[in-house]
Amino acid sequence: MTPEEQVRLNIGDTDTEEQYLSDSVITFLLTENGNNVIDASIEALEAIINQIALQPSRWEIGDASETRASVEKLENRLQELINKRNAKKYQAIPIILHTDRKDWDDLGKIFD
């Protein structure tokens, strides 16, 4: 799977007939973010949210109608992507300490 396809999968822009963002926009976002798929996905989703926020959520003309995605749902997905990025960036390293101490009374001497 190409980085562009990974971004599309992350942001849910996989409908090949009607995509929110063109391939050139996704390629640009990947380039701007050092080919980091998660960071590019975050920026792409922010761009989609901005587009949708400026359009009506539903329109109807005669028998034709269209319902757009909810900005709230997209913002939730955006937060999930940010959390995923941060989890990778700030992973804690577990440390196990082994000691031969039987008790911790000697620490009290520091404060006497």
pLDDT at 28: 96
**pLDDT per position as a tens digit, 44-81:** 999 988 887 777 667 678 888 777 666 777 788 888 88
pLDDT at 64: 81
Distance CA(107)–CA(112), nearest Å, equals: 10
Q: Percent of the chain having pLDDT more than 90? A: 33
pLDDT at 31: 96
pLDDT at 91: 67
First to last CA, the chain: 63
